């Protein structure tokens, strides 16, 4: 089945909601990688690929859930605040909205690009309002691979957001991708330990500026 918005199941949305309430870290070798700025990042080695999947839990202060979800979904705005975006846009493909995203990698490595579908839903889970955004890679002839850029063909992300009971957001994120090529271990470690927390911190700043746009 070709991945698409219709490929997201009700169960996937509810699993993200459940994990936000009760982190599922037992029964597998999830290891705590870093705790910083109110964010905890865990990783799990994927035996098939030799790469890591990541789970992120935490609270982002001074950013309400509705606003955080809006900022996360706003691709045009992300190009203003995410310094690693080279290209980012949506395109209609046979009635389906597909996202193209090219990410800047440090020299001398090649940039990576993604072609993916995503879906946002608002759920009532155990009496709580939860925003869930799911994304996964797809393949479309309208997005041929580019010379000098490595296509990421395995990408999956889930994001669940709810109120922290004050003026912030409690968040859960799952992330896995296979960037291909040879990436130095220091880049992988930096991205996990610093890149994810910094991205979330930058997104909070973007939320604060978004209020004034």
**Prediction pTM value:** 0.91
Is the Cβ–Cβ distance between 98 and 116 less than 8 Å? yes
Place of tokens 């790469």: 51
Is the Cβ–Cβ distance between 145 and 121 less than 8 Å? no
Residue 67 is assigned to a structural domain of this protein: yes
Q: Which domain holds residue 32?
A: 10-209
Number of structural domains (the chain) is 1
Residue 187 is assigned to a structural domain of this protein: yes
Residue 177 is assigned to a structural domain of this protein: yes
Is the Cβ–Cβ distance between 58 and 171 less than 8 Å? yes
Q: Quick check: helix, strand or coil at residue 122?
A: strand
**Among the listed ranges 41-50, 114-123, 129-138, 180-189, which one has the minimum average pLDDT value?**
180-189
49-86: per-residue pLDDT in tens?
888 899 999 999 989 999 999 999 999 999 999 999 99
**Among the listed ranges 116-120, 183-187, 207-211, which one has the minimum average pLDDT value?**
183-187
Report the distance separating Cα 185 and Cα 5, nearest Å. Answer: 33
Residue 30's CB: how many other CB atoms inside 10 A? 17
The pair of three-digit structure tokens given for residue 84, joined into one six-digit string: 């690693």
Task: List beta partners, residue 130.
Answer: 123
Residue 138 is assigned to a structural domain of this protein: yes
Residue 5 is assigned to a structural domain of this protein: no
Residue 137: give its domain's CATH number.
3.30.530.20
Residue 3 is assigned to a structural domain of this protein: no
Residue 122 is assigned to a structural domain of this protein: yes
Helix/strand/coil percentages in the chain, nearest 5: 25, 40, 30
Residue 18 is assigned to a structural domain of this protein: yes
Residues 6+ apart with CB under 8 A from 49: 154, 178
Cα Rg of the chain (Å, integer): 17
């Amino acid at each position: 089945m070709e991945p698409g918005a219709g490929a997201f199941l009700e169960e996937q949305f509810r699993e993200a909601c459940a994990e936000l309430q009760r982190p599922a870290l037992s029964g597998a070798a999830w290891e705590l990688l870093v705790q910083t700025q109110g964010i905890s990042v865990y990783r799990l080695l994927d035996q098939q690929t030799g790469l890591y999947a990541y789970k992120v839990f935490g609270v982002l202060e001074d950013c309400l859930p509705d606003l955080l979800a809006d900022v996360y979904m706003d691709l045009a705005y992300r190009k203003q605040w995410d310094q690693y975006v080279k290209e980012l846009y949506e395109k209609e493909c046979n009635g389906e909205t597909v996202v193209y995203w090219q990410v800047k990698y440090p020299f001398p490595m090649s940039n990576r690009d993604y072609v993916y579908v995503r879906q946002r839903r608002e759920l009532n889970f155990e009496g709580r309002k939860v925003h869930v955004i799911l994304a996964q890679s797809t393949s479309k002839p309208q997005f041929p691979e580019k010379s000098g850029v490595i296509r990421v063909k395995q990408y999956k992300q889930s994001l669940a957001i709810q109120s922290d009971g004050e003026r912030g957001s409690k968040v859960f994120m799952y992330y896995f991708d296979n960037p291909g090529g040879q990436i130095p271990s220091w880049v992988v470690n930096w991205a996990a330990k610093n890149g994810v927390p910094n991205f979330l911190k930058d997104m909070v700043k973007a939320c604060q500026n978004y209020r004034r746009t």
